[in-house]
Chain A
Amino acid sequence: MNKEIDFSEAVFIIFGFIVGNSILIIPGIEAENLAWLVNVVATFIGMGLIDFSEAVFIIFGFIVGNSILIIPGIEAENLAWLVNVVATFIGMGLIYFYVKLSIMNNGQDIISICIKRLGPIIGKTIALGYVWYFFHLGALVIRDLTEFATLVSYPSTPQAFIGVLVMLLAISLVRNGIEVIAKFTQVVIPLVIAAIVVLSLLLINQMDVNNLKPFFSVEFKPFFKALFSTISFPYAEAVVLTVIFPFVKPGKIDIYLSVGTILFAGMILTLVTLTTILSLGNIAQTATFPAFEAARTISVFDFIERVEVISDVSFLIGTIVKLTVCLFGVSVGLSKILNLKGYQSLVIPIAILMGNLSLILYENISELIMWSAEIYPYYAVPFQFFIPGLLFILSLFGSKKSSSQS
């Protein structure tokens, strides 16, 4: 039955697969009269490009990332689930805006768009600001993980040791390129989703609908503050994801698939928020890692217990994906600003500095939580909204100008 074929025959299959529907849907046509060059370059670096269906896993992993345990919008008490629903819709609009901005600039990332639209001096200065933002975000992600690990799982282990282990994995993923990152997320993200669904099902007997009452008890001001905070973390952080777009096969960036991914990620985060509130009630607001505390309460027939390790592992995986994207963004961004041939040589020093920054940033977890809730949303506004907005307007006028000239 298993008839073997020669490699010479396989060559025809490979050729047919690659050419396929690309004959009619010309890849890289967004590059206008330079589409041929895009295809020549893409042929030579074909090994380093990914399909958008693979990038979707990175997008999902980045958004869900460390938000699984640090539930965004929990300040809104029993309305945190509603905050997440509203933030998901705003997040969908934001990803549409970031992807559109990238498509308008031939699939480039935010760093290249800054340099292209604002010139080498101002553009590179702002691009350097973005590199700092990605770097700082990466350090925050490491600190979240190391704090969680030392607080919950390994109280005697130094934070630096846990940080080094995680950084080693991130360095390996980033140095091996976007394809390896994509393959890694393709393997681990379905496990994260499955873990969340299983934990939610196991929590059903702990849930109490009365924990949602009184409905709409939260005032407008705290609600909007929680909404603002939830938009900036994690949804508007999607601006970092633009760094993967230049590594997507030309013409394959799908704006609606991105929006759909954010919708799905939002649904998962809302599910986590809702199950946590339903099972913990008021305790959810005071817990440092509410979803973990909820997972701790699981007890089915006195038989299935102590399954919080599942949420532990999901958090670890999500954090690694987010950290990897941040490290990738800093390395690629800095190599572009400094006009380097590749980014690989920068990965190790950047990872070490990122790990060091995570230890310097805050004295303790209370300071980290306070800073993330009170300062971070305002600090991130220029990177998440103002600069992309300005670049969008400039790109709009730039594309109109070029079309009128042609």
Chain B
Amino acid sequence: MGYVLILIFVFGLIYVYQALPLIRAKNTRELIVFSLMLGVAFLVTVLLVLDIPMPSPAVYIEAAVKIILGVFS
């Protein structure tokens, strides 16, 4: 749980550092994109820290490549 608290602190700092200039510049579009992406990054990092298994995209890419190669061979 301690690691999650550290993550909340670090991500909070990043958000303040990056979002404040965007808010001041009234850059709404960039602020929304940044907030969404940082939110996803935070979620994935928390899952990694808590050792919750996540599916690897490499597995799906490998399956897709094998299907395509199978079709062509």
**A residues touching B (Cβ–Cβ < 8 Å)?**
136, 160, 338-342, 345-346, 348-350, 352-353, 356-357, 359-362, 367, 371, 375, 378-379
In the complex, the answer to whether B65 meets A375 with C-beta atoms within 8 Å is yes
Query: What is the interface residue range for chain B against chain A?
Result: 20 to 34
Q: Looking across the interface, which residue of chain A has its beta carbon closest to that of B36? A: A349
Q: Can you report 18 residue pairs joining A to B where beta carbons are below 8 Å apart?
A: A160-B48, A338-B29, A339-B29, A340-B29, A340-B30, A341-B27, A341-B29, A342-B30, A345-B27, A346-B33, A346-B37, A349-B37, A356-B41, A360-B54, A360-B57, A361-B57, A378-B68, A378-B69
Q: How far is the CA of A361 from the CA of B61 in the complex (A)?
A: 11
A-B contact count (CB 8 A): 66
For B22, the chain A residues whose CB sits under 8 A away are 345
A345 and B18 form a contact (CB under 8 A): yes
Q: A341-B29, A353-B37, A362-B56 are in contact. List 20 more A-B contacts (CB 8 A).
A: A136-B57, A160-B48, A340-B30, A341-B30, A345-B30, A345-B33, A345-B34, A348-B18, A349-B40, A350-B37, A352-B38, A352-B45, A353-B40, A353-B44, A356-B45, A367-B58, A375-B61, A375-B62, A378-B68, A378-B69
Question: CB-CB contacts of B49-70 with A at 8 A, as 1s and 0s?
Answer: 0000011111001100100110
Report A355 CB to chain B, min CB distance, Å.
9
Query: Given A375-B62, A375-B65, does the pair A349, B38 have CB atoms closer than 8 Å?
Result: yes
Is the CB–CB distance between A349 and B69 below 8 Å? no
Give the distance in Å from the alpha carbon of A346 to the alpha carbon of B69 in the complex: 36
Is chain B's binding surface mostly helix, strand, loop or mixed?
helix
Is B4's CB within 8 Å of the partner chain A?
no
B8 on interface, CB distance cutoff 8 Å = no
0/1 per residue, B21-39, Cβ < 8 Å to A? 0100001011101100110
Whether A349 lies near B41 (C-beta < 8 A) is yes
B contacts, CB < 8 Å to A: 14, 18, 22, 27, 29-31, 33-34, 37-38, 40-41, 44-45, 48, 54-58, 61-62, 65, 68-69
Cβ B56 vs Cβ A360 within 8 A: yes
Q: For the complex, would chain A's binding face be called helix, strand, loop or mixed by DSSP majority?
A: helix
Instruction: Specify which chain B residues have a CB less than 8 angstroms from the CB of A360 in the assembled complex.
Output: 48, 54-57
Q: How many angstroms from the CA of A371 to the CA of B58 in the assembled complex?
A: 8
State A356–B52 Cα separation when bound (angstroms).
Answer: 13
> Residues of B contacting A378 with CB < 8 Å?
65, 68-69
The complex places the Cα of A338 from the Cα of B33 at a distance, in Å, of: 9
Q: How far is the CA of A353 from the CA of B39 in the complex (A)?
A: 10
CA distance A340 to B55 in the complex (A): 30
Please report the C-alpha to C-alpha distance between residue A226 and residue B38 in the assembled complex, in whole angstroms.
40
Rounded to whole angstroms, the CA-CA distance of A301 and B69 in the bound complex is: 53
B29 to chain A, nearest CB (A): 6
CA distance in complex: A165, B48 (Å): 18
A residues within 8 A CB of B29?
Answer: 338-341
In angstroms, Cα B62 to Cα A362, docked, is 12
In Å, the complex CA distance between A339 and B68 comes to 34
The CB with the most chain B CB atoms within 10 A, among A160, A349, A353, is that of: A349
Q: Which residue of A lies closest to B47 (CB)?
A: A356
CB distance from A391 to the nearest CB of B (A): 21
Q: How far is the CB of A372 from chain B (nearest CB, A)?
A: 10
Give chain A residues whose Cβ lies under 8 Å from the Cβ of B48: 160, 356, 359-360
Q: A340 to B18, alpha carbons, bound, how many Å? A: 15
Distance in angstroms from A98 CB to nearest chain B CB is: 23
Given contacts A136-B57, A361-B58, A379-B65, contact A346 B34 (CB under 8 A): yes
CA distance A136 to B56 in the complex (A): 11
CA distance A345 to B44 in the complex (A): 19
